[in-house]
Structure 1
Amino acid sequence: MRERSAWRRGPAFWRRSIQLRVVVSTLLLTAAVVGAVGWFLLQQTRDGLLDNRVEAVVAEAENETAEAENRLVAASGTDVDAAAQRTALVEPIILRGASRGFGVVLAATGGEAGARLPAGGALFTDGLDPASVPDALQDHFRAADETAWSFSAIAATAPDAPVAEGPAVVVGSTLTLPADGRTYTLYYLFPLEEEQETLALVTRALVTAAALLLVLVAGVTWLVTRQVVTPVRLARRVAERLAAGTLQERMRVRGEDDLARLATSFNQMASNLQRQIRQLEELSRVQRRFVSDVSHELRTPLTTVRMAGDVLHDARDGFDPGTRRAAELLQTELDRFETLLADLLEISRFDAGAAVLDLDDVNLVDVAHRVVDSTRPLAEQRGVHVRVRAGAQPCLAEADVRRVERIVRNLVTNAIDHADAGEVEVRVAGDAHSAALAVRDHGVGLAPGESAMVFNRFWRADPARARTTGGTGLGLSISLEDTHLHGGWLQAWGRPGEGALFRLTLPRRAGEPLRASPLPLVPHDADGARGTGGTGGAGGNGSTGAAEGPGSRPGSAPARGPEVSA
């Protein structure tokens, strides 16, 4: 598990650390350059060692051959024993070769192409394999007699051979034996053991130097990038603390370089943001105080006007038709004015963070029936039939019953107001973790994008549409605030001509996070949602809109259309 965790953290650390990427990139480039330079130096060293060795062994071979020719010239002309003369010729050279570390092979020149030394009765250093002489060099002396050389590999037939096995330079020279008049070739096999050791030493030195250089470059790169990355990391931490609300955080300025100027500019930006945020906070506080003060101050004159309006409304039967109608309108607008003041006071409590919950076990089924009974006169006036669909079991949630009833009442009256005619359906369902209530109407619906604005204060889809129910334009906004206060979701779906659906989802226990809703957000009767098996879905015509509360997930409606957080 630790290895798997390390493998998971590795790619994330690589993506997040610019210092690591710079160091690794520098190391890779340095390794490539050092490798290329090292290879070039090794090639040059090897070629130089081999050239010097070839020059030396060719000169030594020519000296040995010249000395052998001098001995042959001084030999008696009456000596006709060719075998003895060959032996006397090659033995001194073999002895000197054994002391100097090179091998000797004497073989007759000529014969058929492809014939090799063992077939020619060659004389050679004890323990040396005559096949060590390369075939190309043998073929050369069948056609020419000038001195030539070639690279080969020495093979030994005995472990105590005086010539070391391994790479070698083979030099060949021809001479004529007076005893039989035939031409023979002397092959000198010079091992490259010393050059091999020298090349290995140079290679080890280069590898060691390259490793030390890479370590040094890594350290230098780490230190250099650290000087640049550290201020950036400090800026990131300060920015995170600023984003968390610690507006007095500032970067420390050192020196006058570019990073110091960046820190100065960052601090100036933070100071400007702090000043503007404080101005906005003060303005918001003043606005909230203004709304609260106005709401309270208006209560006294409103009470006086209400008393006068009630007197006029009660005596309206004795007025002329025009005056009677004015008294009725005054009573209606006073009712709406009182509701607006109550809503403004409630909004000011939410803005000030003073709203609290009075938690109790609430049965959403009972809440739905109470709200439907209280709104039945309005529904009959609008020609709308409101129906509750719920199971026989109670659907309980730990909530504030007053606020929950206000949410459901706002949703039902909003549906009645926009249903025009027909039916409004209220569905209630729950599971082990959450309880949900959905209000569905078949009215004008919501255009694409409007479902994200439907919870805004004083927003209306159609500004020319009259508020027939006397609404203030704050009902859905207050409902959303009440829902957030419970830690729940208030979501909307709509489509032009197909109506709208509002879904309230509350956790069973206060404080528990919501993961899904037991009711689908997209209704089953919407176009494109048929055949979804009750999971809810949205058609592919692109006209679906939805608004969700914080933390909502599409798991409750896996086939639904696009949704926007509200």
Structure 2
Amino acid sequence: MRAPSWLPMSVRRPLRVVRRYWRVLVRRLEAYTSPVRRYWRRSLQLRVVSLTLIASSLLVGTFGWFIADQSAKILLNRAQDEVASSLQRKVKYANSQLTVHPQARDPELPSTINETVNELYDGDQAGDSGTVVSIRAENYPGIEARTLPQVDTDGLITASMIRMVADKGQVAWQIRTAEISGQPTKYLVYGSPVPTKFGHVELYYMVPLTTEDRAANQIRTTVLATGIALVILLGVVAGLVTRLVVTPVRVAARTAQRLSAGLLDQRMKVDGEDDLALLAAAFNQMAANLQRQIVRLEEMSRLQRRFTSDVSHELRTPLTTVRMAADLIFSEREDFDPAVARSAELLQAELDRFEGLLTDLLEISRFDAGFAALDSEHTDLVPIVERVTARLAGLAERAGVELQLRLPDTPVIAEVDPRRVERVLRNLVGNAVEHGEAKPVQITMATDDAAVAITVRDHGIGLKTGEERLVFNRFWRADPSRARQTGGTGLGLSISVEDARLHGGWLEAWGAPGEGAQFRLTLPVRAGDRLVAAPLPLIPRDRAAEVG
């Protein structure tokens, strides 16, 4: 996205820099991750195993978190129950010791508080493990707090808890973490008022949760290790299961590739009687049927090619004899009656057509047999186009068609077979003249570093939708009744497209009813190069402008 034009230049320039670096970063990431993304698209097993691992990780993680959380809550609830029960006993004992003093200013009260705290602390079996007992009298400033062991409890007994116990006289609890004896420890802190004759004091009982935390951590570790092992096991199982399914599919794909490459004897191995074995057997049956059909079609095609070639060759001898007799008759036609003279002319024309048909059939048979070969050489294509135009000028004049050349001023050199290129252009220009409806025909040439393109454009009857592909079929005619009068053998465009393919080029057609047609021949400048684009458009520029 571009920065808005209303932003000042001092802001737009940094944005451009950021966008440029961002595009560079995205391109590099795409380049680095391209092999991984390609392998992800191509490997069904990787996708199945990865999705299984992700789903199982989410499921096991959720279940493990629930188990660990519930276990920690159970341990905490048990600790709360134990501390609450112990606190009740301690409150009862402290009440029995402190009720002997009628008022807070009793000089014996501090001594009784000390003895009570000592007794509560010594009587606690967990005292050695870090339990802290404290008695305070926040509402009686003259009474000092007593804590055993003598540690700083300010981080454990908060102001809010003191207000709850001292001011409201309620039992309160909380979990706090504080540094006791130099290391942070989590404590369960309970506070309760202790009724006396002069009011109440506060008893705070602080029990470390070290054992519970250790047990909860052990449970979490166990659940985590079990979950990881379970996810890995599920991944291994998914990999093994998908391998059992994917391996036959891969074998079938490789076998199909070999079959498509012409190795018709390739078959899959059939093991067992399960669905995969059934798939392999069905695949083998299909391959066998295809092999039989392909062999049958190849044999028929071979016989057809041989028949065409043999007939073409065999007809050459009688055709030569008939040609000699026809030439003799044609040369003496002026001495004959007008009807006989006309018959001699028709005979000569039909013999020319018949000879052209035989020549085209022989050329087609060479393409079918794979015997056609290029005689490539560096050739200037401009004189070839001009020569074809000059030879067809008489036909164009009789048809009332003007041939318009649009050729480069400089030579257009390409590595081609000039005989075949000239034959292609002769067929294209001849067809355009015959179907041009007495309208101009444009022959245009353009070139770039990789390709040469020649277009032949007429403004005649055009082609219907879909006929731009059928026009290259053998013996196909758009208008049979009209083609019988002006058409050729019906093989010209078929031979032309084979000539283009032999060069590694393209021969394409465009047409629209009533708007004419355009044929484009595209050839590589250097023999063997692969074409990517053509220097001229297939759709005429005037037609493209109308569509646009």
Output the TM-score relative to the length of structure 2.
0.85
Please tell me whether residue 433 in structure 1 is matched to residue 450 in structure 2: yes
Shift of 1:473: 1.0
Please tell me whether residue 133 in structure 1 is matched to residue 133 in structure 2: no
Give unmatched runs, 5+ long, in structure 1.
Answer: 112-116, 530-537, 541-566
**Counterpart in 1 of 2:194?**
174
Query: Which amino acid in 2 is paired with 1:497?
Result: G
Query: Which amino acid in 1 is paired with 2:173?
Result: S
**Counterpart in 2 of 1:271?**
288
- Structure 1, residues 302-330: CA drift from partner, whole Å, max 9, x if none? 23333333344334334444333333222
Shift of 1:365: 1.8
Shift in alpha-carbon separation, 1:339–1:127, aligned structure 2, 3 A: same
Would you say the 8 A contact 2:97–2:112 is kept in 1? no
Distance 2:78 2:283 in 1: 67
Shift of 1:364: 1.6
Identical aligned pairs, as a percentage? 46
Please identify, of 221-230 and 307-316, the stretch whose mean Cα deviation from structure 2 is larger. 307-316
- Structure 1, residues 143-186: CA drift from partner, whole Å, max 9, x if none? 567xx452332646x7469xx74231415252425xxx433232
Shift of 1:55: 2.7
Distance 1:173 1:298 in 2: 128
**Counterpart in 2 of 1:106?**
135
**Counterpart in 2 of 1:527?**
543
Please tell me whether residue 478 in structure 1 is matched to residue 498 in structure 2: no
The partner residue of 2:547 within 516, 539, 546 is 539
Distance 1:87 1:466 in 2: 127
**Counterpart in 2 of 1:333?**
350
**Counterpart in 2 of 1:87?**
114
The partner residue of 1:10 within 36, 39, 43 is 36
**Counterpart in 2 of 1:152?**
175
Please tell me whether residue 362 in structure 1 is matched to residue 388 in structure 2: no
Counterpart of 2:235 in 1: which secondary structure? helix
Shift in alpha-carbon separation, 1:373–1:81, aligned structure 2, 3 A: closer
Counterpart of 2:402 in 1: which secondary structure? strand
Counterpart of 1:471 in 2: which secondary structure? coil
Counterpart of 2:290 in 1: which secondary structure? helix
Shift of 1:266: 0.7
Output the TM-score relative to the length of structure 1.
0.83
Shift in alpha-carbon separation, 1:93–1:378, aligned structure 2, 3 A: same
The partner residue of 2:323 within 283, 292, 306 is 306
Query: Which amino acid in 2 is paired with 1:510?
Result: A
- Structure 1, residues 28-63: CA drift from partner, whole Å, max 9, x if none? 222222222222222332232223222322333333
Would you say the 8 A contact 1:128–1:155 is kept in 2? no
Please tell me whether residue 122 in structure 1 is matched to residue 138 in structure 2: no
Would you say the 8 A contact 1:169–1:190 is kept in 2? yes
Distance 1:230 1:475 in 2: 50
Please identify, of 274-283 and 355-364, the stretch whose mean Cα deviation from structure 2 is larger. 355-364
Would you say the 8 A contact 2:193–2:200 is kept in 1? no
Shift in alpha-carbon separation, 1:130–1:428, aligned structure 2, 3 A: closer
The partner residue of 1:296 within 313, 327, 330 is 313
Distance 2:45 2:33 in 1: 19
**Counterpart in 2 of 1:451?**
468
Shift of 1:70: 4.7
Please identify, of 341-350 and 390-399, the stretch whose mean Cα deviation from structure 2 is larger. 390-399
Would you say the 8 A contact 1:118–1:130 is kept in 2? no
Shift of 1:288: 0.7
Please tell me whether residue 51 in structure 1 is matched to residue 86 in structure 2: no
Give unmatched runs, 5+ long, in structure 2.
Answer: 1-26
Please tell me whether residue 222 in structure 1 is matched to residue 239 in structure 2: yes
Would you say the 8 A contact 1:105–1:130 is kept in 2? no
Shift in alpha-carbon separation, 1:149–1:264, aligned structure 2, 3 A: same
How many aligned residue pairs are there? 517
Shift of 1:121: 4.3
- Structure 1, residues 533-560: CA drift from partner, whole Å, max 9, x if none? xxxxx725xxxxxxxxxxxxxxxxxxxx
Distance 1:366 1:31 in 2: 74
Please tell me whether residue 505 in structure 1 is matched to residue 532 in structure 2: no
Distance 1:129 1:231 in 2: 71
Shift in alpha-carbon separation, 1:182–1:360, aligned structure 2, 3 A: closer
Please tell me whether residue 35 in structure 1 is matched to residue 61 in structure 2: yes
Counterpart of 1:490 in 2: which secondary structure? strand
Shift of 1:136: 4.9
Distance 2:245 2:313 in 1: 58
